[in-house]
A and B are shown apart, each in its own frame.
Chain A
Amino acid sequence: MNKYSSESPLPNLPQELLLKVALSDEKEALDSWAEWKSITDFENDVDLGSLRLLPLVFHRLQNLSHLDELTGRLKGIYRKSWSNNQQLIYKASLFIDEMRKTGINVMALKGIPLSLEVYNNLAIRPMYDVDILVPLSSKMEAIQFLRGKGFTPDDERILEYNLTYGKGMGFKNESGFEIDLHWRPLLDSIMNSDPNDFWDKAKPVEIGNTSVLIMSPEDELLCTLVHGLRRNPLPPIRWVADSVFIVRKNHETIDWDRFVTYSVKYKVMIQVKTGLNYIYQTFDMPVLKDVIKSLNKIKPSYSEKVIIKHAQWFGDQRKNFSFPERIFTFYARYLRFSSNENFFKLHYYFLKYSLSRIKNRLINSA
């Protein structure tokens, strides 16, 4: 573990230097690369989050015609990412084609849309699985389809819970092909969501011999920030590169009003503001000034503050929680599910919800 190791969603010094190599102007990029090499032992210090940025870093250094002693291995990391992504996208295209033929609408999330439409390159954003979203009303058909194709859920017990309160579940087949099936794009503020949200502005893109829907740029940006700004054992710093690329590529067409409306509706303003402020201050992004100003005028709700605190403390960690941590997680999950903003009503219903969950647990264990 290197001395900068952290699980924070905001980059540490070496990670920020790598991001600058990829995203800053030529001089700052090359200076940052030299500094990164001077403080990093390439054999021992490259965390997984940084490793996932290296294909993009190679691509940038290649565009700047920069060669050095690490070029061969960086190029290898790029080749490996290209090969892996090509295979995943090929398998995904066959799978999506079959799924669509059964009448299920499919939207691709994360790696596929970013590679195909934002980076326009199949190497620079490594993927490890395929993320797809289906309409909430099609979740059972989608699960049945996956089971029929030999996929099993990561955890049957959690699947049961997630069908009501969660946003999706990972599935894997015998050959190790992983599909992350989502039926909600965001976990935050489930009760405020509308089934048509995110689908109404989705557009089709070609993938292999078929097509798949992808989100509009503002929706993609929102989901990238919200997924990225969670505590994660695998440093999710690539949200920075993804967000900067989405904005730079679509700055003339992004619907910022919709972006702000969804940030409020899904109670994700705090992480969205944190993320946008970081990229505004670190990279040359004047286009973000007005949207940050708009978001600053809106006060986050009590629920939102608790939910973000929980996401920052625990996020995607898979560990055995202590009893107080489990209570806090239970409470945060309730707040996500609730649309109530009145503090007293919120807690009155929390008590009712807790009692019903305890009752269910007792019935199930009897």
Chain B
Amino acid sequence: MNKKRVFRVNEPHVVYETIDGETIIMDLRTGSYYSIEWPGVVIWEYLASGGNLENILIEDQRLEAHQNSMHHFLNILVQESLIKEEIVQNTDDVAVLSDEQKAEIKKLADSFKAPLISKYTDMQEMLLLDPIHDVDEKGWPEPKKEDE
């Protein structure tokens, strides 16, 4: 028996959608909103499908040099209860990386950038923002800077 660690999205309280290269996540119990851009999106998508970080690190040995930063990202996702750990009995139960994900991992190893997550906690206030006039060029929920 070869036990493996995998991750799952903490459903049904955690919901997410990837739009145009950005993953937006919401914890419906707390109302907290999160945004992940590349390369975090690649890691999130794989973990959300039942993968683990080990398989990403094995996929391209060059990423070993950056494993601290990758583990830091994973720890935030776990600490925020966006994903939860699960132990599976067989290697077959771990999600397989798609060709597209493999290509993205190679791209990450070619020019590494630390995966980041932005958190927005005051949803009530955020929802009051006018999405045309009160936001910067990136759009809601980024408020317009004072001098704009």
Residues on A lying within 8 angstroms of B by beta carbon are: 42-43, 46, 51, 62, 72-80, 82-84, 86-87, 90, 122-123, 208-209
Contacts and interface: CB of A to CB of B under 8 A. Distances in A.
Nearest to A208: B12
Given A83-B127, A84-B127, A86-B15, A75 B132 contact: no
A353 B141 CA distance: 54
Contacts of B33: 83
Given A46-B132, A51-B132, A76 B139 contact: yes
A84 B15 CA distance: 12
Interface string B100-120: 000000000000000000000
B141 A78 contact: no
Given A83-B26, A83-B123, A86-B28, A43 B12 contact: no
Interface stretch (B2-10, B16-24, B63-71, B83-91): B16-24
Contacts of A79: 19, 24, 139-141
Given A43-B133, A209-B12, A76 B142 contact: yes
20 contacts: A62-B20, A73-B132, A73-B137, A73-B139, A76-B139, A76-B140, A77-B139, A77-B140, A80-B126, A80-B129, A80-B140, A82-B17, A83-B24, A83-B26, A83-B127, A83-B141, A87-B123, A122-B15, A208-B12, A209-B12
Contacts of A87: 26, 28, 31, 123
Interface in B121-138: 123, 126-127, 129, 131-133, 135-138
Contacts of A73: 131-132, 135, 137, 139-140
A76 B135 contact: yes
A73 B135 CA distance: 8
Nearest to A176: B124
Enumerate the 3 nearest inter-chain pairs by beta-carbon distance, A residue then B residue, closest first: A76-B139, A76-B140, A90-B28
Interface residues of B, number: 26
Nearest to A121: B17
Nearest to A209: B12
A65 to B, nearest CB: 10
Given A83-B26, A87-B31, A90-B28, A75 B142 contact: no
Contacts of A43: 132-133
Interface of B: 12-13, 15, 17, 19-20, 24, 26, 28, 31, 33, 123, 126-127, 129, 131-133, 135-142
Contact of A76 (B15, B28, B123, B141): B141
B139 A75 contact: yes
A83 B122 CA distance: 12
Contacts of B132: 42-43, 46, 51, 73, 77
Given A83-B123, A90-B28, A75 B12 contact: no
A75 B19 contact: yes
A84 B132 CA distance: 16
Contacts of B140: 73, 76-77, 79-80
B141 A123 contact: no
Nearest to A78: B19
Contacts of A62: 19-20
Given A46-B132, A75-B20, A86 B26 contact: yes
Query: Which of B129, B140, B142 has the most chain A CB within a 10 Å cutoff?
Result: B140
A348 to B, nearest CB: 53
A82 B24 contact: yes
A83 B139 CA distance: 14
A208 B15 CA distance: 11
Contact of A80 (B28, B133, B136, B141): B141
